[in-house]
Structure 1
Amino acid sequence: MPSAVSSALSRSSADPVDDALTAALAAVRAHIVAVGAANPVVALDGRSGAGKSSLARRLVAAWPGRGRVQLVALDDVYPGWDGLAAGVEYARQRILSPHARGLVGVWERWDWETGSRAEAYAVDPSLPLVVEGAGLLTPEVARLADVSVWVDAPLPSRKARALGRDGDTYRPHWARWAAQEDRHLAAHDPAGLADLVLSIP
């Protein structure tokens, strides 16, 4: 049964989103400490604009341990606007599975302008790994993660954040991407797979 962190207590704050992310970070850090591994894997899932990327960056900056932490954003992995499921499977095969087996993983960034794979990156299995992206928490990925997180947020907030961030580039594709997220939720119930369910306003 996943534990949940609510932003309810921060609604009177001048910045409730920041307060909620601060609470979310504390909860994720506590789970990482409880795992007690030198190289834990944290998987962050949530719909577009929920706050995954912000939480992932804060987590890497405030990691509860020493040394370097690797961060992979699935926005650099998805093979285009119809590639949610394919990107997650690519990440599972090229990043998460090798890490779990103690092998170096190698993945290639997706160049959205050329529509092809670009430069390659290595993932060190001896180091902690944070992977964040919509569609990430499938049963297969959840088994490879030491801490799995579902980040939830209301549709109006998510859409405002996502379009505010990516603007006209994303606007024509919002519904197309949301439909893929809908299919992921129906097929995999990521909130049910998560160790933590976090709510961001």
Structure 2
Amino acid sequence: MAASEPRLGSTRLIAIDGPGGAGKSTLAAQLAREFNAPVVPTDSFASWDNTLNWWPRLESQVLEPLGRDALTRYQRYDWDRRALAEWHEIAPGGVVVLEGVSSSRAAVRPRLSLSMWVDAPRPLRLARGLERDGSSALSLWEQWMADEDDHFAADNTCAHADIIVNGTA
């Protein structure tokens, strides 16, 4: 990682992508500790009602300012309240971890210093999701998984990853 060049202004952007429930958040937390880096979760932009088309807000609030070496301010989406919540600030430079479904999509690949893909078997991912969100979220998770399957197939995301991680552990 230390040898990778900053491709987003003076910031080294690491994307941790993969399907829901694969273990991306756990890996992101480990990298954040190791590199003393902030994590920008795509869950701060996505919602059950907007699984993948939230990217313009991430571009304008996070990626464009970092690319200009400017302070980044983004507003987190609160999934429980179904509304935008508090603001978060990130200074440019160093390492920033972008974690979540579609975080290494084609639109950001040229600006990534490193792309990681985390995967786990579908039944395990669904079980993890329902453990977190409750069994009443089954239909939401089924739709989410269908949406991400379509996205990953069209984007060919995994094939562009620098590192592939087994998220079953």
Tell me the TM-score normalised to structure 2 length: 0.87
Contact between 2:12 and 2:93, CA under 8 Å: does it hold in 1? Answer: no
Matched residue pairs, number?
165
Contact between 1:60 and 1:69, CA under 8 Å: does it hold in 2? Answer: yes
Larger radius of gyration: 1
Identity of aligned residues (%): 32
Contact between 2:5 and 2:113, CA under 8 Å: does it hold in 1? Answer: no
The residue identity in structure 2 corresponding to 1:121 is: H
Match of 1:51 in 2: 23
C-alpha displacement of 1:115: 2.4
Match of 1:33 in 2: 2
Q: Which moved more, 1:114-123 or 1:46-55?
A: 114-123
What does the per-residue CA deviation read over 1:113-159, in whole Å, with 9 as the maximum and x for residues that have no partner? 33221221122112421010112221111112111111111111211
Match of 2:43 in 1: 75
* C-alpha RMSD over aligned residues: 1.9
Partners of 1:194 and 1:109 lie apart in 2 by: 26
C-alpha displacement of 1:74: 1.5
Task: Structure 1 unaligned segments of length 5 or more: list them.
Answer: 1-31
1:182 counterpart SS class: helix
| Structure 1: 4+ residue segments shifted above 6 A | none
1:118 maps onto 2:85 in alignment: yes
Which protein has the bigger strand share? 2
Partners of 1:62 and 1:73 lie apart in 2 by: 17
1:180 maps onto 2:147 in alignment: yes
Task: Structure 2 unaligned segments of length 5 or more: list them.
Answer: none
The residue identity in structure 1 corresponding to 2:48 is: W
Tell me the TM-score normalised to structure 1 length: 0.74
C-alpha displacement of 1:44: 0.7
The residue identity in structure 1 corresponding to 2:123 is: P
Match of 2:163 in 1: 196
Partners of 2:73 and 2:111 lie apart in 1 by: 17
1:117 counterpart SS class: strand
Partners of 2:68 and 2:92 lie apart in 1 by: 8
The residue identity in structure 1 corresponding to 2:56 is: E
Partners of 1:115 and 1:60 lie apart in 2 by: 27
What does the per-residue CA deviation read over 1:36-69, in whole Å, with 9 as the maximum and x for residues that have no partner? 6574111111101111001001111222xxxx41
C-alpha displacement of 1:197: 1.7
